[in-house]
Amino acid sequence: MNQIFFGIDLSGPVNIIDTVISWFKYDHSKEKLNLIDYKIGADDNFIFNIVKDLSINNDLFLAIDAPLSYNMNGGDRESDKSLREFLKKNKIKTSSVMTPTMTRMSYLTLRGISITRILETFKKKPKVIEVHPFVSLLINGANKEDIKNVKKNEKAKQNILNFLKKRQISKLPVIVSKNDHFISSVIAAQIAFFYSRNQYQWRSKRKFPFHPYDFVC
């Protein structure tokens, strides 16, 4: 059966326009992930329908850039602490790993959990993972200055896209390649692909029932 790899750069519920979902299929002959389509401003209804429709005849791997669980007592999850320690050992700043229940993250966490609850209603469920796209870039050797400036600098965006093309991503539409949320969704889909092959740099395994999804970079 065909495999499709989704990446979702999720936003909180009040700024849906910043939510981007993209999905890819792997071309075995060229060893490349080819973009099938994408949606900028994807609301929950769109995510529900596209994933449900494609789940009928395909095996789906879906990576979401958002917390998909939280610590019932507040503060960091064990996965957050583990990722920070991994980054410290690799001399990488840990400031991008944010606590799911902190004020600026709480609505994103709420939406992430809500999306997964929707996906769990499917008869044929996608394989869902939590991801941190730009930490994944750092771990895999992308230029730190490019990552730092990707939201503002066009040259940095192009450098990141060139880096992705060296790691299975095929050519992307120019019109959306300058959208940093689209780029994040592409990175997430790429992580989903490598996860399906058990190729990743870091993973915090799921812990039922409160943390039901692997967290992968």
Give residue-wise pLDDT tens across range 98-138.
999 999 999 999 999 999 999 999 999 999 999 999 999 99
Predicted pLDDT at 1: 78
Q: Which residue has the higher pLDDT, 1 or 19?
A: 19
| Other residues' Cβ atoms within 10 Å of the Cβ of residue 120 | 11
Nearest-angstrom CA–CA distance, 125 and 129 = 12
pLDDT of residue 72: 93
Q: How far apart are CA 210 and CA 204, in angstroms?
A: 14
* Interacting residues of 179 by C-beta distance below 8 A, sequence separation 6+: 20, 40
Which one, of 65, 64, 62, lies nearest residue 3 by Cα?
62
**Burial annotation 155-172 (CB, 10 A radius, 16+ → b, else e):** ebbebbbebbeeebbeeb
Instruction: Using DSSP bridges, classify how beta strands 58-65 and 2-9 pair: parallel, antiparallel or unpaired.
Output: parallel
pLDDT band, residue 175 (cuts 50/70/90): confident
- Computed over every residue of the chain, the mean pLDDT equals 95
User: Going by C-beta distance under 8 Å and a sequence separation of 6 or more, which residues neighbour residue 202?
Assistant: 82, 83, 86, 139, 216, 217
Q: What's the pLDDT score for residue 201?
A: 93
Cβ atoms < 10 Å from Cβ of 83: 23
Q: What angle do CA 86, 89, 91 make, to 5 degrees?
A: 110
Are the C-beta atoms of 8 and 26 separated by less than 8 Å?
no
Does 27 score more than 80 pLDDT? yes
- Token pair, residue 126, equals 């996608």
pLDDT band at 90 (very low <50, low <70, confident <90, very high): confident
Rounded distance between C-alpha atoms, residue 38 and residue 22, angstroms: 4
Residue 17 DSSP class: G
